[in-house]
Amino acid sequence: MLNNKKNTSRGAAILILIFATLFFVLIARFFYIQATGKAEGQALAAIAQKNHTRQTVIEGKRGTIYDRKGLPVAHDTGAYTVVAILDPSQTKDPKKPMHVTNPEKTAKKLAPLLDMSEEKLEKLMSKKGRVQVELGPGGRDISNTLKNKIEDLELPGITFIQDSKRFYPNGVFASHIIGYAQKNEEGKTVGKMGIEKSFNKELTETDGYMRYQSARNGLKLPDPKESIVPPKDGDDIYLTIDEKIQTFLEDAMNRAVKEYDPERVIGIVANPKTGEILAMANRPSFNPNIRDIDNFLNYAIGDSFEPGSTMKIFTLAAAIEEGVYNGNEYYKSGSYKVGDQQIRDHNKSGWGTITFNEGVQRSSNVAFAILANEKLGPDRVLQYLNRFGFDRRTGIDIPGEATSKILYQWPLEKITTAFGQGSTVTPIQQVQAATAIANKGKMMKPYVIKKVVDSTTNKVIVEKKPEVAGKPISPETAEKVLDILETVVTSPNGTGKPYAIEGYQVAGKTGTAQIPNPNGGGYLHGVGKNTFSFLGMAPKDDPSLIVYVAVKQPKLKAMEAGSAPVSLIFNSVMKNSLQYLKIEPEEEKATAVKKTKYGVNMDSYIGESTESAVANLKEKGFAPIVIGKGNKIEAQSPKAQERSMKGERVFLKTDGEPTIPDLADWSYRDVIRLSEFLSLEPSAMGSGYVVKDSQNITPGAPVKKGDYLIVKLQSPEEMIKSKQEEEKDKGKVKKEDDKDKGFPLDQ
């Protein structure tokens, strides 16, 4: 018994000792944690804060892209993502289902609205073990209007997540410049093309957040100890593009594409005083909202090709600058031999012996071959090509600029480059070079980014200023080049007649560039198998705009020339843009004064010998027309002291019986002048210029007062078309080897 009591007491003592030891250990642990704030090496305060701290993301906004006047051309806008709830447990009342109950029926109704197949949608909504799924890609970034249409269907389980998307309000609008941005797999908007891509870092936003203390159920505590880090919106970018002028260009291109279905169209509008690009577009293009992209290349800067006769502008400038150009000097047009190879004018036979000024107006390859080979020399031509920047990229501030390829190894290449064949350059290089002509000899570097602005503080981070890229020619040379280029548009002989704009003086140069045969063997041949272009500046005396337009392989209608689609674009864009910039058309009186600014007072030739009068007039740059077979001049038009322009026809009536001249290619204005001079009765069929062999009085036949003079007229486009058809009928148009047959049509 005593032993049992003794054992019981001993056991109790042991238990008390154990519990006492545990108690002291717990007390010691409590004081340790209280003193150090740590348990198992971890700070308990941090654990508690983590368990009771909530963080909410405050989304930032991607930067906006604006035009030069602050109109948005790319910005974030509200959008929604369509979501399908698949988990049946989300439905509490069977009469009001909150999940998709019939995937097949739901898919059938959503498919046409989301532009997705019924099969794809049904498959998405039939996934097992998923609570919900997004119905992409058609279900992402939908508009509020489409959201309302889907809600009107009252489909069980279909709901929406509010989001944002990148929006381009003008649709097809400078698309290759602006590019596009879209969400990646993480839901972040990222630039994929154009400025959206190259300036993605500047445009990208940084999300902010709000932190606060909460109870276990997630609700804010009365004293939540909030901390807010605000989001940083992306920087805004302002372009040099003018929304109005860009719209003029886009609309004109749309009309040309609809009417002529060309393979390619390029358009650039620039301010020659600053180098700012006011508009730039291509066809094919795309709508960045739907990204229907057939062509990723910005042809205006990213493609180099043979420019054709627009290159003659810069060869002419070089010749004037070097003092070797005499516009009144005569040369024999038609063909020019280089070694055993021939360079030919675009009409093959030429126009006989004409002045260099007329050669420029008619876009004579032979004239420029002589200037390049004999007057300047190949070395000086190359020097000026480099001065005008054709040996390097312009450095324009948008991605994708290509480089030129100047072929200058063989003697023929050194000459053909001077009139735009063989070597390749980019459209933007031509526009940059043309700023020197339009800006008193100073060549301006082209640019598209006007400034980058912090969207939060409105502080300007980067601002572009006009930059002089070189001074290839003097102001005096630039002025002379503009004067001559104006006659390309105004002269009856000029290839640029279709580009005349009423009320404005336009200076410019046409181009008809050859296209290499993709299958090898020289160049493509046939109607429309060229790249037709025009590089024009206006107003001529002090150009405010440069407009370059190129149209590749248009489908021309009967009796149409390549200038038709180009002038459709150029004339509309130039005229609308000048008027938009408040550069008003000149008054008729002011226009008349300006047009005679560079004219001269006509001398009297009455009583002089026919031979002397003709020689004197040709020396002064006029086109004398002898009427009759006598040896002395009895009458003239224009009369003595009348203001006359160089290149104008001067009628000289000799003694004896008057005879009618050959009127082929005359303007109807000159036909009327002749009729008034000889007291004839004029009559015309059609409009434009006199068709060869169409006059009712045979050239050289005598005429008397009161005779009827009847002619048939054609537009320049119709005349070129007729000549091409005539040559084709005679078997003269055929594929020729460039090495031994010369060079085909190039204006």
pLDDT at 77 over 80: yes
Helix 563-580 to helix 716-729 angle, to the nearest 10 degrees? 170
Amino acid symbol at 291 = R
Q: What angle do CA 300, 303, 306 make, to 5 degrees?
A: 105
Question: What's the residue count for the chain?
Answer: 747
Strand partners, 161: 81
Which tens digits make up the pLDDT trace of 221-231? 455 556 677 77
- The pLDDT assigned to 32 comes to 57
Strand partners, 296: none
pLDDT at 40 over 60: no
Q: What Å distances lie between residue 411 and 73, 337, 364, CA to CA? A: 50, 11, 19
- The pLDDT assigned to 223 comes to 55
Which tens digits make up the pLDDT trace of 188-224? 889 999 999 999 999 998 877 666 665 554 444 455 5
pLDDT at 52 over 60: no
- CATH code: domain 243-593 is 3.40.710.10
Amino acid symbol at 612 = S
Going by C-alpha positions, the residue among 437, 427, 412, 428 that lies closest to residue 315 is 437
Peptide bond into 638 cis (omega under 30): yes
How far apart are the C-alpha atoms of 389 and 145, rounded to whole Å?
51
| Tokens, residue 334 | 């038609």
- The pLDDT assigned to 719 comes to 59
How far apart are the C-alpha atoms of 224 and 53, rounded to whole Å?
9
| Tokens, residue 494 | 């000029």
Q: What is the mean pLDDT of residues 13-27?
A: 72
How far apart are the C-alpha atoms of 660 and 696, rounded to whole Å?
10
Phi and psi, residue 349, nearest 5°: -90, -10
Classified by CATH at the fold level, domain 615-729 comes out as: Trypsin Inhibitor V; Chain A (3.30.10)
Q: What is the mean pLDDT of residues 734-741?
A: 42
How far apart are the C-alpha atoms of 430 and 425, rounded to whole Å?
7
- The pLDDT assigned to 513 comes to 84
Which tens digits make up the pLDDT trace of 322-353? 999 999 999 999 999 988 888 999 888 889 99
pLDDT at 28 over 70: no
Residues that are catalytic = 309
Q: Are residues 438 and 226 in contact, defined by beta-carbon separation less than 8 angstroms?
A: no
Amino acid symbol at 180 = Y
| Tokens, residue 15 | 């238990």
- For 652, the enclosing helix (H) or strand (E) is strand 649-654
- CATH code: domain 62-204 is 3.90.1310.10
Half-sphere exposure of 272 (CA within 13 A, CB side): 28
Amino acid symbol at 582 = K
Query: SS3 for 507?
Result: strand
Which tens digits make up the pLDDT trace of 546-568? 999 999 999 988 778 888 999 99
pLDDT at 475 over 70: yes
Q: What is the DSSP string of 364-410?
A: -HHHHHHIIIIII-HHHHHHHHHHTTTTS----SSS-----B---SS
pLDDT band at 90 (very low <50, low <70, confident <90, very high): confident
Which tens digits make up the pLDDT trace of 411-458? 899 999 999 998 999 999 999 999 999 999 999 999 999 999 998 899
pLDDT at 737 over 80: no
pLDDT at 570 over 90: yes
How far apart are the C-alpha atoms of 352 and 330, rounded to whole Å?
10
- The pLDDT assigned to 721 comes to 61
- Pick 480 or 502 by higher pLDDT: 480
Percent over 90 (pLDDT), the chain: 48
- Pick 98 or 683 by higher pLDDT: 98
- The pLDDT assigned to 743 comes to 41
pTM (2 d.p.): 0.70
Q: Are residues 431 and 275 in contact, defined by beta-carbon separation less than 8 angstroms?
A: no
Instruction: Indicate the range of 75-79, 363-367, 518-522, 694-698 predicted with least confidence.
Output: 518-522
Mean pLDDT over all residues of the chain?
84
Going by C-alpha positions, the residue among 139, 130, 107 that lies closest to residue 120 is 107
pLDDT band at 710 (very low <50, low <70, confident <90, very high): confident
| Tokens, residue 113 | 């609205």
Q: What is the mean pLDDT of residues 301-306?
A: 94
- The pLDDT assigned to 525 comes to 78
